[in-house]
Structures are given as structure tokens and as C-alpha cells.
Amino acid sequence: MTWLFPPPAAPSLPILGQDARFPVRRILCVGQNYAAHAREMGHERAEPFFFSKPADALVSDGADPAYPPATADLHHEVELVCAIGEGGDIIGWAVGCDLTRRDLQAAAKAKGRPWDAAKGFDQSAPCGALTLGAPPDPAAVIALSVNGQVRQSGRLDDMVWNPAEIVAKAGTLWALKPGDLIFTGTPEGVGPIIPGDRVEARIDGLSPLSFTVRP
């Protein structure tokens, strides 16, 4: 067999302390999973719901995402990312940023339309190195700063649905497989970023994520 053109390279994440990389199959994301963020977006507590980003939206290894076209309101959302291994269990953890075209999301919500253009655009999923093993402490701080100013700061146990519950729910909707990433939602304080902004995101116990928004 031959290819009509070379198949695209597999998106992947580095793993802390290992040469092996984690090949990314797909990216699921949970909406409104911290009570205060759900409230700031105008929602009450509800069952977890999911959207997705294409695997090639991943930005890894310290690369800087470009400011996307077709928006004037790009937002940061710092999130705990779970990495699924063989058996469908969570085998690793990372700090991710669910970049969002908030203006397109608001327009989609108003018309009951899908969120793909708001959430699943190119370079919309910066993610730090994976840490394999036990989950971070539930009391761990999850925080994001822009140009040194703290914008988001919460604790993982502020989550409405914890990672095990999210994976269990997702597993009723999809067959989770090795290589899947799940972004688990963001605490309050989301806001706009512009070209040149330096974003630093962290969760206690995990490899931090930082990037500069390219023009």
C-alpha cells in the first residue's frame, strides 16, 4: 500500500522523566466543572457534559500558539488534563489550557449551534508534560497568570465532578482508549488574552505550562 500523501505525524506529549512520549488519540473536554465558573457563565450545577478538540489542536513541548483568526475575544481556561492508558484508566496528569474563542462560543450558544469553531480550532489545546502515576493532591492549587498577574486560582477539589467521575461518565458515551486526553474544566476567572501575552499555568505537583501568544 502507498499513501496519496504522507500521513500526518501523531500528536504527542512528553512524559516527565522518560524518553517515551504519550501518543494522543483524541481530546475530550468537560464544560462548567467548577461551581464558581459555571455561575460566572450563568449556569447552575448539572450533569457533566463534553465537547471535543481534534488531536492536532494540541500544542506541546513549550511551543507558542498563534492568536487564532475569526475572533476578537480569545480566552484562557487552565485545566487539569487526564491521560488515558491501557484498560481505560487514568495513567497520567498534566496542566492544559482550553483556549476558547469566547465571542464565537456566545454566538453558538445563542443559536443552539455546535461549539467546534469556538473550542476546536487550530492550536487550541496547549498542554504541559505528562506526569505518570498518582493523581495530584485534591487540595492542589490550580492557577493561571497573564503577564505575571493572577487571573485564575482555585483548588482541584472545587471540581463539581472529579476525574474518576468524569472518566466514568465519558465511558458511557465513548469507548475510551489509550491516548485519549480529557480536559476537566476550569475554575473561575477566565478572561481575554492578546498577542504578546505571557501565560503561565500551574497545578501543584505537576509540570507547569507556559506560552506566549504569537501574533
Check binding of 77 to Mn ion (CB under 5 A): yes
Closest CB 118 distance from Mn ion, rounded Å: 11
**Total chain residues near Mn ion (CB under 5 A):** 3
Interacting span for Mn ion (CB under 5 A) from 88-96, 127-135, 181-189, 206-214:
181-189
Tell me how far apart the alpha carbons of residues 47 and 33 are, in angstroms, rounded to a whole number: 9
Interacting span for Mn ion (CB under 5 A) from 94-102, 104-112, 168-176, 192-200:
94-102
Check binding of 98 to Mn ion (CB under 5 A): yes
Check binding of 152 to Mn ion (CB under 5 A): no
Check binding of 180 to Mn ion (CB under 5 A): no
Q: Quick check: 34 and 158 in contact, CB under 8 A?
A: yes
Tell me how far apart the alpha carbons of residues 117 and 101 are, in angstroms, rounded to a whole number: 8
Check binding of 118 to Mn ion (CB under 5 A): no
Tell me whether residue 15 or residue 27 sits nearer to Mn ion (CB atom). Answer: 27
Tell me whether residue 77 or residue 180 sits nearer to Mn ion (CB atom). Answer: 77
Tell me how far apart the alpha carbons of residues 120 and 108 are, in angstroms, rounded to a whole number: 13
Question: What is the DSSP annotation of 153-188?
Answer: EEEGGGBSS-HHHHHHHHHHHS---TTEEEE----S
Which amino acid does the sequence have at 74?
L
Closest CB 78 distance from Mn ion, rounded Å: 9
Interacting span for Mn ion (CB under 5 A) from 124-132, 140-148, 185-193, 198-206:
185-193
Residue 104 to residues 31, 78, 170, Cα–Cα distance (Å)? 16, 19, 25
Contact with Mn ion (CB under 5 A): which of 32, 105, 186, 207? Answer: 186
Residue 153, Cβ density class (10 Å: 0-12 exposed, 13-18 middle, ≥19 buried): middle
Q: Give the footprint of Mn ion on this chain (CB under 5 A).
A: 77, 98, 186
